[in-house]
C-alpha cells in the first residue's frame, strides 16, 4: 500500500478499540483480536480505524499490516516508538481473563499476547492518542510478522519501503522488560553444520563411515562450551551456543552418510555480525560444511544519548542488558540508539500461562507519559 | 486366500515364465517383472501360472503373494527351499542387460534384482519343475515383502497361517552367497533411545537443559565402541552397533527438550534375543528411555545336520558366516536348521549396479541338482 493517507477501513468489519478507556482496558481489547503472525490484518485495521477516529493530530501511513503514525510539530528531536501486533499461536488462552496472581497477589491479565506484547502496544496507543503536543516529535510504529523468520519482519519491510518515515534521534521498542529499560540486545546467528560419511548396509557397518557417530565430536564440544558473559557500555550480556535441531539417517538398516546440526549462537553486541560468523566457522572447523542460515546483529545499549539518559531518569530503575534479539537492532542498524521498554516479564512470553501485572501497564504508561511531556528538560542526575 | 488349489490366473494378464529355457534365461524373465515390495502380485501370479503349466507333480498353495509348492512322495526327509520375490525400489536399472564384467571378464546379467534375489529364485524354479522325483521331499516357498519391516514378511505370515506346510528337516534360503554356503545369520535389533531435557528460549539457554547436547555422551560411546567378532559353530560372526537415525529439535530459537536416536544392533547367533535386549538396555542405561522397535533373533549355522553335511560336500567350498539377518532365522525358530545359498555377491545387493555372474547361476543350479538327486547317500568325507 502507499504511504499516503488512505480511506479508513469500514467500521462494520473492524473490531472497535477505545483508547479513552486507558491502557489496561486497551490491553484486553487488543489481546482479544486474534493476531497470530500472518493474520494481522484485522488488528492493523482496528488500530488504523481507532487512530483515524481519535487522533487527528497524527499523519497515518500503512505498509501491508504495519501502521505508522507521526506527529509533525517541527520539534528539535524525534523519538520512534514501536511495537509488534502479532503473537505466537493461541493455545486455549484467549479471550484474556482478569485474575489475581496467586503468588504475588497482584491484579493480572492472563492470556495470549498479554506480555508479548499487547500491553506494550496498549500503552503506546493510549499515549499516541493522548499526547497531542509532546515535547518531541513522535513516530509511532505498529508492525506485523515479528514472531517469525527475521526476513518476514513487517518493521524491516516498512524500513526498506519507506526509509523517509524512520528518521529519529532515539527509539523505544515496547518488548516486555518488566517496566524497566533493557538496553540493546544480543545478536543471533543460526548455522547448519553438516557431517558426512559413507553409506553401507548396517550388517557390514565397517564398510561405511557413520555420519551420526561423527557428530559426537561436535555435540561434545557444544555440551562442554561455556558461553561468555560480556560487559558492553556497562551492561552484562550473556551469550549462548546451542544445537537447536539435529537430523540424520537413511533407513533402519543403512549406515547414515549425513548428519545435520542446526546451531543457534547468541552473541554480545560488542561482536559484529562478521566476527560472529568467523567465530562459528572456527568453532566448527572440523565439520564438512557450515552454512549460515540466519544472521541478525545485536545492538549496543545506546544509553549514552542525552534523550536516553532523561528516559532512564523518568523510569527510575537501573537499566539492564536485553539478552534476546529484538528489533532494537533494526534501529541500531539505521544509527538510531534504541532500548526495550514495556510491561510484562519476558520469561512468560510465549508461555501458555502468559500474564501481565496491571500495575506494570499503568507504571509504564506513567513513565513514558512523564518523559514525553517533558523530554526537553535537562537530565536528572 | 486358502491353501486349497485355486484356479490358475488368466494367461492373458500374466507374464509368461519359461522354465525349460534354464535358470539363466529365467533370471532375466523374473527380473523384468517389476516387483518392488508391496507390488508382488504380478510376479506371484506368473510363478503360480508357470508351476500349474509345467509342474503337475507339485501341490500348490497360495497365501497372499506367497506361493508354496510341495512334492508329496512320502520320502523319509523333507527339505524346504525358499526365496523372496520382491526387490528394493528400481532406480533406472530395469530391464536387465547381458554384459561382460570389465574387471573379471565374466559374463554377467546387470540390473535390479539380479543378485537379491531373482537369480536364486530362477535356480529354484528351474529345479522345482525339473526334479519330479527328488531324493527328498521338497517344499518350495516363494514369498513377498522381504525387503521391508520384518513384521510384513510374507514368509512369516505364511508360517503363521499354515504351519502344517512348513515342517522340514533342513532349509535353504536362496539369499546371495556367491554360490557358497553361508551358515546361519546375525540377529538384528533396533532400539529408539531417547534423551530428555527442558525447553527454554535460546536467548536464555541456561534456563533449559539441551537434550541434543545430552546425546553427545551416547554418540561418543557408539563412536568408540568396537563391535565383537564371535565364533559360533566354527564360523566367525562380526557384530555391529550403530546409530542409524537421529532426530531432535523444536524450533530455531528453542532449547530442545527431546533427542531420539535409533540404534541398530547386529548380534551374533550365540546371543539370544533376550540377551541382545539386555545388552542394549545396559549399553544405554543413562538414556531416559530405550524402546525396542524391532527384534529378529539370529540363527546358528546349523551345519551339524547330516543333510547339511552332504550339501556342503556337493557345493565343494568352505562355508562361511552370514552377517546380515536373513529369513533363515525364521526356519531356525521352527527348529529347522537352515543355511543361505544362492548366486550373486551380497555386497552388490541393493546397489544400483547390482549384477550376477552367469557362471554362478549355473554352478548353483548344478550343486543343488546334484545334492537333491542324491541326498540319501552317506555324507562325503
* Residue that finishes a domain, picked among B269, B296, B323: B296
* Residues of chain B contacting residue A245, judged by C-beta atoms under 8 Å apart: 212, 248-249, 252, 256
Q: Are residues B163 and B75 in the same domain?
A: yes
Considering only the beta carbons, identify the residue of B202, B246, B266 that sits closest to A242.
Answer: B202
Q: Are residues A209 and A327 in the same domain?
A: no
Q: Are residues A72 and A171 in the same domain?
A: yes
pLDDT given for residue A14 in this prediction: 67
**Residue B1 DSSP code:** -
Query: Residue with C-alpha cell 496491571?
Result: A358
Considering only the beta carbons, identify the residue of A210, A223, A324 that sits closest to B213.
Answer: A223
Q: What is the complex's ipTM, to 2 decimals?
A: 0.73
CA separation for the pair A121, A51 (Å, rounded) = 13
Strands of the sheet with B59-63, listed across from one edge: B59-63, B66-70, B137-143, B78-84, B170-173, B338-341, B181-183, B320-321
- Domain assignment present for residue A380? The answer is no
* Residues of chain B contacting residue A255, judged by C-beta atoms under 8 Å apart: 242, 244
Q: Are residues A38 and A89 in the same domain?
A: yes
- Active-site residue among A63, A146, A147, A354? A146
Q: Which of B190, B206, B224, B253 to mutate to test the interface with A (most CBs of A within 10 A)?
A: B253
**Residue B339 DSSP code:** E
Q: How far is A261 from chain B (nearest CA, A)?
A: 9
**Which of A2, A115, A5, A120 is CA-nearest to residue A55?**
A5
Q: Are residues A16 and A155 in the same domain?
A: yes
pLDDT in tens, B25-46: 999 999 999 999 999 999 999 9
pLDDT given for residue B375 in this prediction: 55
CA separation for the pair A206, B248 (Å, rounded) = 26
Checking if the pLDDT of B210 tops 60, the result is yes
- Domain assignment present for residue B219? The answer is yes
Q: Do B213 and A203 touch (CB under 8 A)?
A: no
- Domain assignment present for residue A381? The answer is no
pLDDT in tens, B337-353: 889 999 999 989 988 88
Number of residue pairs across A and B with CB atoms under 8 Å?
A: 168
Considering only the beta carbons, identify the residue of A190, A212, A323 that sits closest to B204.
Answer: A323
Q: Do A203 and B256 touch (CB under 8 A)?
A: no
Checking if the pLDDT of B381 tops 80, the result is no
Question: pLDDT-derived band of residue B219, with 50, 70 and 90 as boundaries?
Answer: very high
Q: Are residues B83 and B224 in the same domain?
A: no
Question: pLDDT-derived band of residue B323, with 50, 70 and 90 as boundaries?
Answer: confident
Q: Do B216 and A223 touch (CB under 8 A)?
A: yes
**pTM (predicted TM-score):** 0.73
- Active-site residue among B45, B48, B146, B182? B146
* Residue that finishes a domain, picked among A230, A262, A296: A296
Considering only the beta carbons, identify the residue of A243, A248, A254 that sits closest to B210.
Answer: A243
pLDDT given for residue A351 in this prediction: 86
* Residues of chain A contacting residue B203, judged by C-beta atoms under 8 Å apart: 186, 188, 240, 266, 323-325
* Residues of chain A contacting residue B227, judged by C-beta atoms under 8 Å apart: 205-206
Question: pLDDT-derived band of residue B362, with 50, 70 and 90 as boundaries?
Answer: very high
Number of alpha carbons in the 13 Å side-chain half-sphere of residue A154: 26
* Residues of chain B contacting residue A348, judged by C-beta atoms under 8 Å apart: none
How many residues in total does chain A contain? 381
Q: B319: cis peptide before it, omega within 30°?
A: no
A239 included as an active-site residue? no
Better pLDDT: B288 or B301: B288
CA-based Rg of chain B, rounded to a whole angstrom? 23
B76 included as an active-site residue? no
- Domain assignment present for residue A132? The answer is yes
- Active-site residue among A86, A116, A182, A239? A86
Q: How far is B244 from chain A (nearest CA, A)?
A: 5
Q: Which residue of B has its CA nearest to A197?
A: B244
Query: Residue with C-alpha cell 568467523?
Result: A278
**Which of B38, B37, B44, B36 is CA-nearest to residue B13?**
B44
pLDDT given for residue A334 in this prediction: 92
- Domain assignment present for residue A378? The answer is no
Q: Are residues A264 and A314 in the same domain?
A: no
Q: Which residue of B has its CA nearest to A252?
A: B244
* Residues of chain B contacting residue A350, judged by C-beta atoms under 8 Å apart: 201
Q: Are residues A181 and A192 in the same domain?
A: no
> How many domains does the structure of chain B reveal?
2
* Residues of chain B contacting residue A261, judged by C-beta atoms under 8 Å apart: 212
pLDDT given for residue B13 in this prediction: 58
Tell me the CA end-to-end span of chain B in Å, nearest whole number.
45
**Which of A307, A219, A202 is CA-nearest to residue B267?**
A202
CB A296 within 8 A of CB A327: no
- Active-site residue among B63, B65, B86, B175? B86
**What's the CATH number where B226 sits?**
3.30.70.360
* Residue that finishes a domain, picked among B229, B262, B296: B296
- Domain assignment present for residue A58? The answer is yes
**What's the CATH number where B88 sits?**
3.40.630.10
Checking if the pLDDT of B173 tops 80, the result is yes
- Domain assignment present for residue A379? The answer is no
Q: Are residues B341 and B247 in the same domain?
A: no
Checking if the pLDDT of B380 tops 70, the result is no
- Domain assignment present for residue A173? The answer is yes
CA separation for the pair A35, A86 (Å, rounded) = 5
Question: pLDDT-derived band of residue B99, with 50, 70 and 90 as boundaries?
Answer: very high
CB B128 within 8 A of CB B107: no
pLDDT tens for the 381 residues of chain A, in order:
333 444 444 444 567 899 999 999 999 999 999 999 999 999 999 999 999 999 999 999 999 999 999 999 999 999 999 999 999 989 899 999 999 998 889 999 999 999 999 999 999 999 999 999 999 999 999 999 999 988 899 999 999 999 999 999 999 999 999 999 999 889 999 999 999 999 988 988 999 999 999 999 999 999 999 999 999 878 899 999 999 999 999 889 899 999 999 999 999 999 999 999 999 999 999 999 999 999 988 888 878 778 888 899 999 989 998 887 889 999 988 989 889 999 999 989 988 889 999 999 999 999 999 999 985 544 343
In degrees, to the nearest 5, what angle opens at C-alpha B291 toward C-alphas B286 and B292?
Answer: 120
pLDDT in tens, B176-203: 999 999 988 899 999 999 999 999 889 8
Question: pLDDT-derived band of residue B9, with 50, 70 and 90 as boundaries?
Answer: very low
Considering only the beta carbons, identify the residue of A201, A243, A249 that sits closest to B212.
Answer: A243
pLDDT given for residue A187 in this prediction: 93
Q: Are residues A226 and A369 in the same domain?
A: no
Q: Are residues A164 and A276 in the same domain?
A: no
The domain of A148 spans 3-185+299-373
Q: How far is B201 from chain A (nearest CA, A)?
A: 8
Q: Are residues B265 and B178 in the same domain?
A: no
Amino acid at each position: 500500500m502507499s504511504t499516503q493517507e488512505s480511506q479508513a477501513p469500514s467500521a462494520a468489519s473492524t473490531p472497535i478499540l477505545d483508547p479513552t478507556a486507558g491502557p489496561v482496558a486497551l490491553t484486553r481489547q487488543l489481546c482479544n483480536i486474534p493476531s497470530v503472525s500472518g493474520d494481522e490484518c484485522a488488528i492493523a485495521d482496528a488500530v488504523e480505524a481507532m487512530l483515524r477516529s481519535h487522533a487527528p493530530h497524527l499523519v497515518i501511513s500503512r505498509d501491508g499490516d504495519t501502521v505508522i503514525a507521526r506527529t509533525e510539530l517541527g520539534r528539535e528531536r524525534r523519538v520512534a516508538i514501536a511495537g509488534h501486533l502479532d503473537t505466537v499461536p493461541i493455545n486455549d488462552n484467549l479471550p484474556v481473563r482478569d485474575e489475581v496472581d496467586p503468588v504475588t497477589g497482584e491484579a493480572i491479565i492472563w492470556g495470549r499476547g498479554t506480555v508479548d506484547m499487547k500491553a506494550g502496544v496498549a500503552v503506546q496507543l493510549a499515549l499516541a492518542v493522548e499526547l497531542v503536543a509532546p515535547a518531541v516529535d513522535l513516530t509511532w510504529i505498529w508492525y506485523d510478522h515479528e514472531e517469525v523468520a527475521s526476513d518476514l519482519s513487517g518493521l524491516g519491510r516498512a524500513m526498506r519501503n519507506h526509509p523517509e518515515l524512520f528518521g529519529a534521534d532515539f527509539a523505544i521498542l515496547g518488548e516486555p522488560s518488566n517496566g524497566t529499560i533493557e538496553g540493546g540486545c544480543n545478536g543471533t546467528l543460526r548455522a547448519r553444520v553438516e557431517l558426512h560419511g559413507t553409506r553401507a548396509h548396517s550388517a557390514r557397518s565397517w564398510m561405511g563411515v557413520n555420519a551420526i557417530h561423527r557428530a559426537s565430536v561436535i555435540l561434545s564440544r557444544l555440551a562442554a562450551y561455556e558461553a561468555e558473559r560480556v560487559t558492553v557500555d556497562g551492561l552484562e550480556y550473556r551469550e549462548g551456543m546451542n544445537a537447536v535441531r539435529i537430523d540424520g539417517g537413511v533407513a533402519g538398516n543403512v549406515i547414515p552418510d549425513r548428519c545435520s546440526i542446526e546451531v543457534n549462537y547468541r552473541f554480545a553486541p560488542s561482536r559484529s555480525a562478521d566476527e560472529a560468523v568467523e567465530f562459528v566457522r572456527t568453532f566448527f572447523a572440523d565439520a564438512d560444511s557450515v552454512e549460515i542460515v540466519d544472521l541478525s546483529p545485536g545492538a549496543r545499549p545506546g544509553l549514552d544519548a542525552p534523550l536516553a539518559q532523561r528516559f532512564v531518569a523518568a523510569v527510575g530503575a537501573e537499566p539492564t542488558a536485553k539478552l534476546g534479539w529484538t528489533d532494537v537492532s533494526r534501529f541500531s542498524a539505521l544509527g538510531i540508539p534504541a532500548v526495550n521498554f514495556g510491561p510484562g516479564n519476558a520469561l512468560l512470553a510465549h508461555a501458555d500461562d502468559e500474564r501481565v501485572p496491571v500495575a506494570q501497564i499503568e507504571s509504564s504508561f506513567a513513565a513514558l507519559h512523564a518523559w514525553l511531556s517533558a523530554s526537553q528538560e535537562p537530565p536528572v542526575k
